Amino acid sequence: MKKTIATLILLVLGTGISQAQLLEFGVKGGVNFANYTGGDVSGVDFKTITSYHAGMVMELKVFENFAIQPELLYSTQGAELEGLGDQVKNELGYLSIPVLAKFYLTSNELSLELGPQASFLVSERNEVDANDTNSFEFGIAGGLSYKITKSIFVSGRYVAGLTEAKKDADVKNSLIQFSVGYMF
């Protein structure tokens, strides 16, 4: 009887430990290089702005070399508009939710990430009052991530907007992100 109880306890503990290794949580933050793509606004050139992103990340290991990585990020995007007399900075704050398929290319260090991203507009800072920004944006994200240690990682990503960022201009958000993160 004692052997059966001890075996059950070891089995439950072993299952709990293996489950903990399947699901990890972390935080990340970094720099954004954002711009608009597409659209032809007469006499206006789009210039890249430098901004930031920060938030939480979760990794759910499905197979040895494959995981699903949902994130919840606050990300500032937009562009600087040149040609309206003065340079006008259009900075948009989004709550972004990328859900990425993560393919490990080496033994759990280097990974390729690809998946959809939904973004909800939560703030808008303009130097001119336009009120023409769409409140929802959908895009596709892809990039690479590298685990420096078991807990610390760096990543680079490109996010291409698939829906229009502005109501009156056929422009989409384009974003390059560099991040540093920590998994608990």
Q: What is the pLDDT of residues 34-67, one digit of tens each?
A: 999 987 666 678 889 999 999 999 999 999 999 9
* End-to-end Cα separation, the chain, in angstroms: 38
The structure tokens listed for 97 are 């939710």
pLDDT of the residue at 104: 96
Separation between Cα atoms, residue 72 and residue 184, nearest integer Å: 16
pLDDT of the residue at 17: 42
Percent with pLDDT over 70 in the chain: 82
Residue-wise pLDDT for 146-159, tens only, equals 999 999 999 999 99
DSSP 129: -
The structure tokens listed for 99 are 């859900």
User: SS3 helix, strand, coil % of the chain, rounded to 5?
Assistant: 10, 65, 20
At a CB cut-off of 8 Å and minimum separation 6, what does 180 contact? Answer: 28, 29, 30, 152, 153, 154
pLDDT interval class at 7 (50, 70, 90): low
Residue 29 CB coordination number (10 Å): 15
Q: Specify the pairing of strand 152-161 against strand 172-183.
A: antiparallel
At a CB cut-off of 8 Å and minimum separation 6, what does 85 contact? Answer: none
Mean pLDDT throughout 117-139?
Answer: 84
On the question of pLDDT at 131 being above 80, the answer is no
The structure tokens listed for 26 are 């972390």
Residue-wise pLDDT for 159-184, tens only, equals 999 998 887 778 899 999 999 999 99
Q: What is the 3-state secondary structure (H, E, C) of 33-80?
A: EEEEECCCCCCCEEECEEEEEEEEEEEEEEECCEEEEEEEEEEEEEEE
Mean pLDDT throughout 136-143?
Answer: 97
What are the phi and psi torsion angles at 148 (to 5°)?
-75, -45
Length of the chain: 184
Ramachandran region, residue 109 (left: φ > 0; alpha: ψ -120 to 50; beta: rest): alpha
On the question of pLDDT at 128 being above 50, the answer is yes
Model confidence, pTM? 0.82
Percent with pLDDT over 90 in the chain: 62
pLDDT of the residue at 107: 81
